[in-house]
A and B are shown apart, each in its own frame.
Chain A
Amino acid sequence: MNHPCACQTTLPSTPPPAELAAILERFPSQKREYLIPILQVTQEKFKFLSRDAMIHIAQHVGVPVSKVYGVATFYNQFKLNPPGKHTIQVCRGTACHVRGSDQLLRSFESELGVAPGQTTKDGLFTLDIVACLGSCSIAPVVTVDGTFHGRLENKDAGKLVAEIRKGEGQ
């Protein structure tokens, strides 16, 4: 197989896995309007959008895979890689910035050894930034798996991470 372009070879001959098929069934096919909702539901289920999932979705919606990829990479919500077990979101809203969230983010970066958007090698943590969580009165704010932690100082980054690591038996 020596195709310069891979698109012919990547079209799956197999039907989508049952879980994905169940999702696709809920949406009318051949309607682009439902592309983003399908991607959202798929990501909610699988935590990220795999290459195969995007190919199946493209067939269902009736658009080229490149268009699906284009949409998936355009919006901040979509992740193309599996996230870590715990997600740490650092709010980078204006109020948090004014109260020192840039330093806080740096503390998390050095604590975890990854940049925002990346996952640690042990697959335990994903560090993310979010535009605004809307909890400006308790700035700077961080969420760990959806739980809010407000009025943090730089040193709290280490504490939070250590706490989770401890919970994981490390």
Chain B
Amino acid sequence: MTATAVTAPVSQVLRGPATIADLLSGRPMDEAAKLLQAEQDGRTIVYVGLGTCGLASGGMDIWNKLEELNRSGRIAVTLKKTGCIGYCQHEVMVDVKKPGRPRVSFGSVTLPRLEKIVSSYLEKDELPRDLVLGISESYPSGPDFEIPGDWAGVPRFKDLPYFKKQLRIVLGNCGTLDPDSLDEYLARGGYRALAKALRMPRKQVVAEVTASGLRGRGGGGFPTGKKWEFAFSQDNPQKYIVMNADEGDPGAFMDRSVLEGDPHRIIEGMAIGGYAIGATRGYIYVRAEYPLAIEKLNRAIAHCREVGLLGKDILGSGVEFDLTLKMGAGAFVCGEETALIASIEGKRGMPKPRPPFPAVSGLFGKPTVINNVETFANVPDILWRGASWFAGIGTGRSKGTKVFALTGKVKLSGLIEVPMGITLREIIFDVGGGILNDGTFKAAQIGGPSGGCLPTSLLETAIDYDSLISAGAMMGSGGLVVMDDKTCMVDVARFFINFTRSESCGKCIPCREGIARLQEMLDKIVQAPESEKGNMTLERFKAVIDLRHTCETIRDTAACGLGQTAPNPILSTLRYFKDEYEAHIYDRHCPAGKCKSLLTFRVQPEACKGCGLCKKKCPNGAIVGELKHSHYIVKDKCVRCGVCQEVCPFKAITVS
């Protein structure tokens, strides 16, 4: 949405209802591209990254300041909002496209830095090189734009280490496209794939997806084409297609970025899926915690209805397809297909035993296909560029790319998309730039609460569904959290068990009771020994005797995916980091120094100046001492909160 336009039509190139022939002719794409080009030739355009991470880093302040500068007449630019390009470490990102110049990206923009960009680049055409991240691809001039002579040495985005090994299909438009503009999506060939699909028999669309080898990106990796086939072969006048955008995995935000940055891609993918299986209605089940994604989707859906891309007669083909947005109310288990269905139906989100599979009897008892956001986002390109193109990317049984939210103790955290088969080492050290503060790599947690931790020895593991499963992790939805030597693996396992325990729906006993027992065991071994009397010691040693057995029982007997995979964080850490469990149990020692209860806090008498600050701040009155005299910590009273160490101005408190 431009700052000047108030009530612009939904699309300047689609006059009246869109048709298949028109879209396939390429006319809307060319015209939209020409419009964009004309816009860029005439005026400077400033793009502000206003995805959630951009907003969180203060993007709105930058946006408001730019608007204010525009109003005051100091600058005269067109302002555009974009989604997230995935280079989260450098938010807020501001891109500037001047006529005759390539689009250039500035990173970590704050108000003072913005002032510098305005005064030197916008007003004087001098590039403040220290703020430049690189030259980003600008549409429609294409990727092979010329770099002007006086800009020698400014890198192209695609040559930056962070982007070099990425292959962006799903995220292709994220961060460079205005998600509110249908024309911008059309300029990139949007909705051609839907037009092409509508000319094909339904069965052939399903066959194309099957042939591409696309597998579900939500976690399990079930072949998408097969799922569609099941639903397609059901003889039922009413079928549904559902998009699972209930991204509940802590540490993952891939889906959100696609929803916010490129909503039309998902609508197109769903419409193709709906046509393929014969569904007239689609549901988008999206987390209520993603208000921005909901806003973008609502707007995109409204635009599509207006030009006949959704509705009773899409693209004049006689095919009906429309979308309804449903907001999830915050329950991790609703990522499970049958629980998600229950939630849409207005019930508690509890899984049901399968069969019957949703493809046979799903939402309201009708055949239903449920796919993840990223899965649908792949569909338009598969249809347009062909199954063999897609099948040419990746490894034997894992095709295409995968989006990961790369976070944790890594230098460059953000959203990345890499071809299947890339190694963990390449992701962490080449794309991610290595470990934060030049620390030592310890493990990578992949797959969230259902996944596992992979140690250094598995850094060469190729990322695909099957090798991750055999390594004890799983693809999951795409959370990839890097851990260094200051991370305690028992603590990580405990963190995930805590999470799955509170998110267990409580329907089946192995999950409800078993995970609670696991948590008790883990809690015991990270706690300070209160006494050696009674059963304390025995309780701690339960972890030695029972932990693995309980995990295996839950894995084998729980009713749904959440329960079956819940023990994975423990099983994988037991497999690769057994020594850490042993150190906690036998030596009462946390090698990473993370489990506070196992630590001993001491005042170093020679360093203590007796200021009394720690005594004042100690929540349990465990510190004694006179002013100006060295203090002392009473071990039995100390709750190991670490406050004293934080507040001590003389660094006199040590931990062992």
Contact = CB atoms under 8 A, between A and B. Distances in A.
A29 interface: no
Contacts of A155: 646-647
A71 interface: yes
A103 B642 CA distance: 9
B487 A98 contact: yes
A97 B495 contact: yes
Interface residues of B, number: 56
B565 interface: no
Contacts of A61: 346
A39 interface: yes
Interface string B62-96: 00000000000000000000000000110100000
A139 B251 CA distance: 10
Interface in B232-254: 247-253
B624 interface: no
Nearest to A32: B346
B408 A94 contact: yes
B56 A138 contact: yes
B333 to A, nearest CB: 9
Contacts of A138: 53, 56-57, 88, 91
A40 B481 contact: no
B478 interface: no
A154 B646 contact: yes
Interface in B210-249: 247-249
B1 interface: no
Nearest to A91: B250
Given A94-B479, A95-B408, A95-B413, A36 B346 contact: yes
B413 A137 contact: yes
B578 interface: no
A52 interface: no
B345 A33 contact: yes
Contacts of A74: 331, 348-349, 505
Contact of A39 (B248, B249, B329, B495): B329
Interface string B248-269: 1111110010000000000000
B89 A93 contact: no
Nearest to A31: B346
Contacts of B52: 133-135
B332 interface: yes
Residue among A32, A78, A135 facing the most chain B CB atoms (10 A cut-off): A135
B405 A136 contact: yes
B414 interface: yes
B346 A75 contact: no
B409 interface: yes
Contacts of A130: 289
A77 B91 CA distance: 29
A46 interface: no
B338 interface: no
Interface in A129-162: 130-139, 141, 148, 150, 154-155
A130 B253 CA distance: 14
Contacts of A50: none
Contacts of B53: 134-135, 137-138
B509 interface: no
B471 to A, nearest CB: 18
A139 B407 contact: yes
Contacts of B487: 98
Contacts of A97: 250, 492, 495
Given A95-B408, A98-B483, A103-B642, A77 B251 contact: no
B347 A78 contact: no
A89 to B, nearest CB: 10
A13 interface: no
Contacts of A141: 56
B17 interface: no
Nearest to B642: A103
A35 B414 CA distance: 37
Interface string A84-119: 000000001111011100110010001000000000
B330 interface: yes
A95 B248 CA distance: 14
Contacts of A71: 346-348
21 contacts: A33-B345, A36-B329, A36-B343, A40-B288, A71-B346, A75-B328, A77-B288, A94-B445, A94-B448, A94-B495, A98-B409, A98-B481, A98-B483, A99-B409, A110-B641, A132-B249, A132-B250, A132-B251, A136-B408, A137-B89, A148-B57
Which 3 A-B residue pairings sit nearest by Cβ, starting from the closest?
A134-B253, A94-B251, A75-B329
Given A94-B481, A106-B641, A134-B405, 6 more contacts: A31-B346, A36-B327, A94-B496, A95-B251, A99-B409, A133-B289
